Amino acid sequence: MPNTLFYGDNLQVLRDHIPDESVDLVYLDPPFNSNASYNVLFREKSGEESPAQIKAFTDTWEWTLETERTFEEDIILHSGTPPAVKEMITAFREFIGRNAMMAYLVMMTPRLVELRRVLKPTGSLYLHCDPTASHYLKIVLDTVFGARNFRNEVVWRRTNAHNNDRVYGRIHDILLFYTKSDSYFFNPQTRPYLNGYVRSMFRHVDERGAYRHGDPTAPETRTGESGQPWQGYNPTESRRHWAIPAYLREDLENRGFDLENLTTQEKLDLALENGLIYLPKRVGGQPAIRRYLTDREGTKLQDIWAYQPYTEGSLWGIGEAIDEDVKWLQSGERLGYPTQKPEGLLERIIATSSNEGDVVLDPFCGCGTAVAAAQKLNRQWLGIDITHLAVSLMKSRLKDMFNLDPGQDYEVVGEPRDLGSARALFEQDPFQFQFWAVSLLEAQPQDQQKRGSDRGIDGLFYFIDGPRRTSRKVVVQVKGGGTQVRDIRDLKGVVEREKAALGLFISLQEPTRPMREEEAAGGFYHSDLWQRDYPRIQIRTISQLLEGQGFDLPPRLPAFQPAARVRAAEGEQTTLEELAG
């Protein structure tokens, strides 16, 4: 089921919805904590409360009875777990102990087993992590995928500087690149040569442009046609043989020549006739290929991806800096999600390890950078996240960038679609119910870290009004349990305290008559800009919102930072703005 967003626990989603060998590329950026020190992270949880800098781990990665149950049921007793993985994770528990890091590895291990299952034999996986846990994750991956299928540890420079008086600045993340087998897809990407390299190596110039000499031979002798003399030159005398490089074959084919049935010597003759081989006049000289600069794409990517600021103009033919395509997240790209990664980073990975039309999966998709990059590069995609905040942000991003709508251009699985499933979500997790309900209005939900201290505000958005076109606030409250008239009175108090224009109340239950009376007593807000009155306090039930009966509101500003629009390529959907000219 390509082009689908899933809300839910990715382990369960993988097991219930993603078939075996159906995915070409997996990118995952699971939660990790680059600010935590090694020693603090490994401290046992019995005793003093962990300090604030490991809050990301204390919220989720504590060794509890639930963690022990996950260890036993999802790994040790699960039929899909290979024996080697069971032995590895058991040994880890003895070595590391029952602490935050072990809880993290217990969470990751069954998910990596499932991700290997869904990968095609030609598929690849990139795991994004930091040095705090990368060495442990690599052992887990070696066990799950096989050490022979480890391909690279890519270092990505994620920020400019992180100064510390006691250690070297920590400015990089790690990408662990594994494949399911030896027969994997890999399309090497390149970056333009450095100007200094061009000046040093491409020193010859003719009417076609700059070129350097390339060798048409390779080491070792051959007894076949590649070892026979050509134009008076015998490669065997130098313990070599004729070897026509790919770039020369491509040049000849681009000129319209069919090389399929030609001998090595005939191919060399063809290259000589077209000025692509140089024959030296001096005695003892060797033939050389004219390797033109315009024929070469540039330097293939290596395993360090490090943007170098202030090197603009140092690359041949373009004005960019070194590795500028994967520079750290810039302010213009930020959507307000704390672990967002730059699109250029994901575009490199997707372009290298997948073809157009392939399926890309991100099981921890957050604000959806991998999904957006896949859509941009004409791949199919699957995104999974356990929070409605992330799913809401992804839907907003897909709308902003590509004008895609859920239910029409892609599917959303796991969100409530009726009153019964909404009630089930509330009973399972009231906070996720709250985020989902707020997302129905495309409002900005309250930060998850402020649970219990939201001051009566579950969501916010703004609209423009007044003679000076200033922003006006709208407060959203969500109630899933029993509601009563004092809830509406409390909302009125929040509206007054926040100096908000409107207060919206979303209820899972049908409102009582006193609640409706209190709503009506709230009066109206008059919009100078739109010359309309809007009820200051409004109540809608979940059923009404699901049926399309929304609130009475003036045109409003987007709740999330809008993502930049991507122009439609040939054959892609055209945006409304483009249709309007």
What pLDDT score was predicted for residue 331? 73
Whether residues 378 and 515 fall in one domain:
no
Contacts of 130 (CB under 8 A, 6+ apart): 32, 33, 34, 173, 174
Whether residues 63 and 185 fall in one domain:
yes
Whether residues 151 and 211 fall in one domain:
no
Distance CA 573, CA 551 (A): 30
Asked if the structure places residue 208 within a domain, the reply is: yes
Whether residues 176 and 199 fall in one domain:
no
> What is residue 564's DSSP assignment?
P
Whether residues 126 and 228 fall in one domain:
no
Distance CA 488, CA 484 (A): 8
CA angle 503, 504, 509 (to 5 degrees): 140
Two tokens at 412?
A: 């959303």
Q: How many residues does the chain have?
A: 581
Q: How far is CA 457 from CA 98, 445, 477, 510, in A?
A: 38, 9, 6, 21
Asked if the structure places residue 578 within a domain, the reply is: no
Whether residues 174 and 290 fall in one domain:
no
What pLDDT score was predicted for residue 560? 63
Backbone angles phi, psi at 305, to 5 degrees: -110, 95
Last residue of a domain, one of 383, 413, 443: 413
What pLDDT score was predicted for residue 416? 87
Asked if the structure places residue 581 within a domain, the reply is: no
For the chain, first and last CA: distance in Å? 34
Asked if the structure places residue 50 within a domain, the reply is: no
Asked if the structure places residue 18 within a domain, the reply is: yes
What pLDDT score was predicted for residue 295? 65
Whether residues 235 and 311 fall in one domain:
no
Last residue of a domain, one of 413, 437, 469: 413
What pLDDT score was predicted for residue 571? 40
Whether residues 433 and 447 fall in one domain:
yes
Q: Quick check: 378 and 356 in contact, CB under 8 A?
A: yes
Range of the domain at 175: 4-45+58-190+303-413
CA atoms within 13 A on the CB side of 445: 24
Contacts of 298 (CB under 8 A, 6+ apart): 190, 191, 192, 193, 316
CA-based nearest residue to 34, from 328, 303, 304: 328
Structural domain total, the chain? 3
What pLDDT score was predicted for residue 244? 92
Distance CA 136, CA 119 (A): 22
Whether residues 199 and 186 fall in one domain:
no
Backbone angles phi, psi at 290, to 5 degrees: -80, 110
Render each residue's pLDDT in the chain as its tens digit; 581 residues. 679 999 989 999 999 999 999 999 999 998 864 334 333 334 333 333 333 222 333 345 678 888 888 899 999 999 999 999 999 999 999 988 888 888 889 999 999 999 999 999 999 999 999 888 899 999 999 999 999 999 999 999 998 888 888 889 989 999 999 999 999 999 999 999 999 999 999 999 988 889 999 999 999 999 999 999 999 999 999 999 999 998 899 889 989 999 999 999 999 999 999 999 989 888 778 899 998 887 667 899 999 999 999 999 999 988 899 999 999 988 778 776 677 899 999 999 999 999 999 999 999 998 899 999 999 999 999 999 988 878 888 988 999 999 999 989 999 998 888 899 889 889 888 888 888 899 888 887 765 444 445 578 998 889 999 888 889 999 999 999 888 999 999 999 999 999 999 999 999 999 999 999 999 999 999 999 999 999 999 999 999 999 999 999 998 877 666 677 775 444 443 332 332 33
Whether residues 439 and 500 fall in one domain:
yes
Whether residues 130 and 107 fall in one domain:
yes
Q: What is the CATH number of the domain that holds 461?
A: 3.40.1350.10
Q: Would the pTM of this model clear 0.85, i.e. be above it?
A: no
Two tokens at 403?
A: 């004008």
Asked if the structure places residue 580 within a domain, the reply is: no
Q: How far is CA 307 from CA 173, 179, 229, in A?
A: 13, 26, 48
Distance CA 194, CA 298 (A): 9
Whether residues 104 and 134 fall in one domain:
yes
Asked if the structure places residue 577 within a domain, the reply is: no
Q: Which helix (H) or strand (E) holds 381?
A: strand 380-385
What pLDDT score was predicted for residue 347? 97
Asked if the structure places residue 573 within a domain, the reply is: no
Q: What is the CATH number of the domain that holds 315?
A: 3.40.50.150
What pLDDT score was predicted for residue 491? 94
Last residue of a domain, one of 363, 392, 413: 413
Give me the residue label for tokens 């043989």. 241
